[in-house]
Amino acid sequence: MTIRVLLVEDQRVFREALKAFLDTSETDIEVVGEAGDGRDALAQVNALRPDVVVLDVAMPGMNGFTTAARLRARHRETKVLALSAHAEKHYVLGMFDAGAAGYISKNAAARELVQAVRAVASGESYVSPELINVTTAGMRERRQGLSELDVLGRREREVLQLLAEGERSLAIAERLSISVGTVEAHRRNMMRKLHLHSVAELTKYAIRTGLTEV
């Protein structure tokens, strides 16, 4: 059976390199589509119904956490494999929380990507060997208390990322389909939870925790 794959990666050169490798080296894997951001990914999954979505985590606009959560809510039959250059535990655990079935490092060999795609397509979970210790440590810390980003809800993380990327409240409200008042409420709640006092401080926090690369 052929595994139908959708590649979601905002760096076009890297995405095309992955597609070329998968299309030419594997007879049981077919790249049926590509997307450069989360919104395009959602639209293509609706149209193409792939078996596996290989999903970048740190994308502008709709990040991998939000995209994965929406994919799993709408298409539970489609498996999500996170692909990221970030090895921090809040990235790995955050993607699993959002519904990803696997997490692979961009530093991994191409053959490992094939292994991971096959694993999640068959209903298994997958974590790059180099990330297993990080993942285990993060789970242990969770049992003992909250990590930094765990104090924020999913919608708060979305608002925080967009604020850090320079979006105004009105633009954020339109993008997330919420009111400007709700955006401002999320901003106030985040400042209270994180003991911060300005959008500049929120931006620095988002960069430090890896929520955005701006």
| Extents of the domains making up the chain | 3-142, 149-208
Q: What is the pLDDT of residue 104?
A: 94
Q: Which segments within 24-110 are labelled E, that is strand?
A: 29-35, 52-56, 79-84, 102-105
Average pLDDT of the segment spanning 202-208: 82
125 or 26, which is more confident:
125
Which CATH number applies to 3-142?
A: 3.40.50.2300
| Residue 149 pLDDT class (50, 70, 90 cuts) | low
Same fold? 3-142, 149-208: no
Q: How confident is the model at residue 145 (pLDDT cuts 50, 70, 90)?
A: very low
Average pLDDT over residues 98-113: 90
Q: How confident is the model at residue 4 (pLDDT cuts 50, 70, 90)?
A: very high
d(CA 113, CA 115): 5
Residue 92 has pLDDT above 90, yes or no: no
**What dotted CATH number matches 149-208?**
1.10.10.10
